Structure 1
Amino acid sequence: MAARGIVVALGAIVLAAGGAYALTTPSRLPAEAVAADGSGDAARGERLFHAGGCASCHAPSEGGGEGPVVLAGGPPLVTKFGTFHAPNISSDPQAGIGAWSLADFANAMQRGVGPNGEPLYPAFPYTSYARMTPGDIADLHAYLMTLPASKAASLPNELAFPYSIRRGVGLWQRVFLDPSPVVTLPADAPEPVKRGQYLVEGPGHCGECHTPRTFGGLGGLDHSRWLAGGPAPEGEGSIPDITPGGDIADWSESDLVNYFETGFTPDFDSVGGSMVAVQNNLAKLPAEDREAIAAYLKAIPAVAKAGERN
């Protein structure tokens, strides 16, 4: 009887381990959700590169010289979970992503899965990129492959336990990775508003900073307070509420467009902090994209400040 009990206990342990393994295994994109190899257009991809602010995280410095940006890995992101280091995503086949297939790239961008099946930490905003179209992913990949290669080694993250257990991110993804649109727009919403929704909720990943998170900052974005502001990821200060009822409530669409292009507010203050890099990227977009983002920000629901809710 004792031996039988041991066998039953071991069986239960194996089943539990198998269940935990399955739950923490990231989910890859189905093959039909990835664009055809070679279909990407680098010229279109450059537009997405600026919309996504790739250089802000993955380049050692931005706007510091002439010539193409080198995506050798960016400055550290210090958070309450530890320090994240954005990796080398240059076209180098060893140190960067030059050897990745389009499918590898798409799975990293939209499912948070590395080429070897490892879950990626959500400091990389794949929860937003998940809303991008397969064609746009292919275009961005094509553009990245035109940029200079760098042999600089990516630095490892410096995370405290239990955040250092990468496998647990797979479970986080099962709960919080949702590619559905955040805001339900009316069917007759103007095209600029629809385009703005795609840019803000997808490649622009604005909600990653401008929306508070659930479960004390450990979870996904709190969509009930979409773009209503929240604590800065670095732990100091706060990110403003950019809904129609928030910190920019008295800004017009043209005020927003001008801010995106020039960095000047309606009262002639200038952009500061982490928004400097964002504004630099927005200024590189076509005018119609900046106008679309402004139209969307004025069309979404206003969110009352936390202390003003009924």
Structure 2
Amino acid sequence: MSRASGDSGDSSRESSRASGRAFTPLEERLDAWAHRRSQALAADAGPWRRGLLEFAVFTAKQAWACVFGAVMLVLLVLARLVYPDDALLVRSDALVLAALTVQALMLALRLEGGRELWVIVMFHVVGTVMEIFKTHMGSWAYETDGLLRIGGVPLYTGFMYAAVGSYMVRVFRLFDLRFTRYPPIWATALVAAAIYANFFTHHYLPDVRWVLVGAVVLLYARCVMSFRNQRTGPRRRMPILVAFVGVAFFLWIAENVGTWAGAWIYPHQSAQWHLVPPTKFVAWLLLMMISVVLVTLVHRPRPPTD
């Protein structure tokens, strides 16, 4: 390794420690590569080449942040396309064991930090409890075979929620997220609790999801998120609500893939697969707010320092 690459790796580790959100070893290498390339282009490259590099780094880090969710989607699709129907181990149980293996490997290979694991586990539990209730109410359904399940819910479903939590904790670390005018944590926690309660109570009481969407907009309307693609690079800014909508949209896309793969089905898909209705986009937006609040318990929102 050259001295220049070693210096950039040291710079990445130092800035990572300064932020209080240490990179995993692979993330350090990714950040060091981005630093070396940006330094090499800084002197003689035009704005287009620098912009393309920044976009490439942003895409690579977003892809890495999504790695657990992407692996889960691949497993769901493979389970539908290639897993034999007459296998001794039924499909749903195989998915549970595969998800457990992936999570264990990510910890053993230091691809995921143990400090944030409890947030992922918490969202796993939150999602599983809601799944048990929702399947009981007939909101959606899973295959009925398999032993590794609670009621009508196979245990791999919790890992799909965990994938959302995993993404959230990764983007905080990878992009050194900072916030201007972030709302009080107690207020965000109250709204998140109301959102979670509404997923249950709307079966018996009026559905107030649009009131809760309004509360989210009012709460975060003035908040601006700043990030940078590599720790020595310039900060970029965007309204945090734009980020929320973008993440919810990709979650809706992932849900369409999951239902196509037969991981679960909605009543309107029982005879033939159809797109998940756009109303579920709103549900994902609200559910994501619970994950956001859980993550802020580990990564406290901080203002930019530069």
TM-score normalised per structure 1: 0.26
Of the two structures, which has the highest relative contact order with CA contacts closer than 8 Å and spacing of 6 or more? 2
TM-score normalised per structure 2: 0.26
Flag the structure with higher helix content.
2
